[in-house]
Amino acid sequence: MSLLITGGTGYIGSHTVVELQTLVSEQTPSQDIIIVDDLSNSSTVVLDRVKQITNKTVTFIKADVCDYNAINAIFDQYDIDAVIHFAGHKAVGESNEKPLSYYHNNVSGTVTLLQVMAEHNVKKLVFSSSATVYGDNVSPLNESMPTSATNPYGQTKLMVEHILFDLAKSDSEWSIACLRYFNPIGAHSSGLIGENPNGIPNNLLPYVAQVAVGRLAQLQVFGDDYDTVDGTGVRDYIHVVDLAQGHVKALQNLDKISGCKAINLGTGNGTSVLEIVNTFKEISGQDIPYKIAPRRAGDLATVYANADLANELLGWQATRNLYTMIEDTWRWQSENPQGF
């Protein structure tokens, strides 16, 4: 039996592959892992690094999930019984500029994958959704709240969630975990894999890390007049290895999920931008110059999870604290200043 991982050379995918190869093989006979990625936002160097960490190899196929024939050929060739679907574009700002590219890649790509899965009778799926589907609900955010989206990226996640719920309703054989991630940060403790954004980072942690390592001059803090502990935005940062382990748990518990279930993966704690900057400064010993800038359009003051359902359904909770998250981010960034 094989497990297909789309987007497996990306940030969250690569950490999940490592956890699958270590945790799963300790507990159950390991499944063969097949990664499909079009390398639009990642590099094959990741595969060497994963091998260094795990001492195991994976099958890698360069393909686009929107390409029906390529994906169909993979399902014809391998005995796949479940899929973790990470592949997608993820930059909110870019999605406003290139909405068609986002709808095509994230929505059409998922529909193509689901079509091939259905035709091969593979009906177990773990999907990368996002806390962005909660729109402007007030935190703590729980899975029964109404969903909405404010940008094309968020719309693609919401549309795919609706597609998955409809699919599961139409055919009770599907088991789907729709994991709503909060803010993944950190890196593997080896310092060998981590987040490697193209160009100027959009997200806070890679930006701060690149300022600390001297690649960028100064952080802009988007707003200091929110109703929060120090006026800056508060988010639920979660260690990428905790997140990866959440995927292992989701996969192991898919049989218990009938239909499609949305599940938050967060810590339940909020941290402000300035708390991040100060902790990063302390851990790295580097200066992190910043200036207060206007609020960023579309940002909310406070976003954090109610993480109870993941504990109840999957027996999972995050275990790594902010200190570890930043320590691991810094190790990765300082040992790989230019990324992969």
Q: Is the peptide bond before 140 cis (omega within 30 degrees of 0)?
A: yes
Contact between 183 and ligand WQD by CB under 6 A: the answer reads yes
Is 181 a residue of the active site?
A: no
Output the smallest distance, CB 233 to ligand WQD, in A. Answer: 2
Q: Which stretch binds ligand NAD (CB under 6 A): 10-18, 76-84, 214-222, 299-307?
A: 10-18
Question: Judged by CB, which is closer to ligand NAD: 286, or 302?
Answer: 302
Is residue 238 within 8 Å of 195, Cβ to Cβ?
Answer: no
Q: How far is CA 215 from the centre of its chain?
A: 24
Output the smallest distance, CB 209 to ligand WQD, in A. Answer: 11
Interactions with ligand NAD, residue window 27-56 (CB under 6 A): 36-42
Contact between 228 and ligand NAD by CB under 6 A: the answer reads no
- Please tell me which residue in 153, 181, 226, 304 is annotated as part of the active site: 153
Output the smallest distance, CB 66 to ligand WQD, in A. Answer: 20
Residue from 3, 88, 192, 309 in contact with ligand NAD (CB under 6 A)? 88
Residue from 2, 4, 9, 125 in contact with ligand NAD (CB under 6 A)? 9
Number of residues forming the site for ligand WQD (CB under 6 A): 19
* C-alpha to C-alpha distance for 182 and 32, rounded to whole angstroms: 29
Output the smallest distance, CB 69 to ligand NAD, in A. Answer: 13
Contact between 66 and ligand NAD by CB under 6 A: the answer reads yes
Interactions with ligand NAD, residue window 107-146 (CB under 6 A): 109, 128, 130
Q: Where are the beta strands (DSSP E) in 197-289?
A: 219-222, 234-235, 237-239, 259-265, 271-272
- The residues, any chain, with a CB within 8 Å of residue 162's CB and separated by 6 or more, are none
Residue from 66, 167, 187, 204 in contact with ligand WQD (CB under 6 A)? 204
Picking from 111, 59, 57, 118, the residue whose alpha carbon sits closest to that of residue 88 is 111
Distances (CA, A) of 227 to 150, 185, 207, 266: 21, 24, 24, 22
Work out the angle at residue 160's Cα, subtended by the Cα atoms of residues 203 and 17, and round it to the nearest 5 degrees.
60
Distances (CA, A) of 130 to 149, 156, 184, 216, 305: 11, 10, 10, 28, 11
Contact between 184 and ligand NAD by CB under 6 A: the answer reads yes
Contact between 233 and ligand WQD by CB under 6 A: the answer reads yes
- HSE toward the beta carbon, residue 9, CA cutoff 13 A: 24
* C-alpha to C-alpha distance for 93 and 304, rounded to whole angstroms: 21
Just list the catalytic residues.
Answer: 153
Q: Which residues bind ligand NAD (CB under 6 A)?
A: 6-7, 9-13, 36-42, 64-66, 86-90, 105, 109, 128, 130, 181, 184
Q: Which residues bind ligand WQD (CB under 6 A)?
A: 90, 92, 130, 132, 183, 202-204, 207, 219-222, 233, 235, 273, 296, 299, 303
